[in-house]
């Protein structure tokens, strides 16, 4: 892996992490734009898969996604660089803010800025859902769409524990992958 690509990988993740407010769900579309659309290091389906793994793994989604993207692009060294790039900005920002917490806590301007950021975060999360949902729907496969709709219904209307939903979706996805693999072997496409 050449040094320029490693530097680009680190600096891209550092920049995304430093300029992203609102958590992991916000960094995912920015990573997609950077690594899928601009750099072409990952294709759309791979990004969707990496996102699903990052969301269903324990830990912060932004860190998980950074590790997975880094590993996919440059192996273990890439994963180490991207995790460093992902955690360094929040670590520095939180360290500085903690020193001045009392002044920030009661500042009206800071409170207004945070309220405004909340609206922006909600808009970006809606964009993620629409963009990634569209990708799933465009595959013209019934099972992923059914799993997506049923997961939403279970979580939103029936308050089913999200861990149970993730486990069930993982099992359904694994069984579907095994079924597709057997079908390809039977038709001679494997």
Q: Is 186 left (phi over 0), alpha (psi -120 to 50) or beta?
A: alpha
Mean pLDDT within 82-99: 90
Residue 24's pLDDT is 72
Give 139's pLDDT tier (boundaries 50, 70, 90).
confident
- Global pTM reads 0.65
Give the Cα-Cα-Cα angle 8, 53, 43 (nearest 5 degrees).
50
Query: Residue 61 in contact with residue 25, Cβ under 8 Å?
Result: yes
Query: Residue 55 in contact with residue 165, Cβ under 8 Å?
Result: no
Query: Residue 64 in contact with residue 57, Cβ under 8 Å?
Result: yes
pLDDT single digits (tens) 21-45: 776 778 888 899 999 999 999 998 8
**149 vs 119, which has greater pLDDT?**
149
């Amino acid at each position: 892996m050449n040094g320029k690509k490693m530097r680009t990988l680190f600096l891209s993740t550092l920049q995304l992490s430093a300029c992203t407010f609102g958590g992991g769900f916000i960094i995912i579309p920015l990573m997609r734009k950077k690594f899928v659309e601009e750099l072409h290091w990952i294709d759309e389906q791979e990004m969707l898969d990496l996102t699903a793994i990052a969301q269903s793994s324990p830990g912060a989604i932004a860190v998980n996604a950074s590790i997975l993207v880094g590993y996919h692009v440059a192996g273990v060294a890439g994963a180490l660089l991207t995790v460093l790039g992902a955690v360094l900005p929040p670590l520095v920002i939180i360290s500085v803010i903690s020193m001045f917490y009392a002044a920030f806590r009661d500042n009206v301007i800071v409170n207004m800025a945070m309220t405004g950021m909340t609206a922006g975060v909600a808009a970006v999360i809606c964009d993620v859902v629409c963009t990634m949902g569209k990708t799933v729907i465009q595959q013209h496969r019934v099972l992923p769409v059914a799993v997506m709709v049923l997961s939403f219904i279970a979580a939103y209307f029936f308050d089913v524990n999200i861990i149970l939903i993730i486990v069930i979706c993982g099992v359904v996805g694994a069984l579907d992958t095994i079924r597709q693999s057997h079908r390809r072997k039977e038709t001679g496409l494997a």
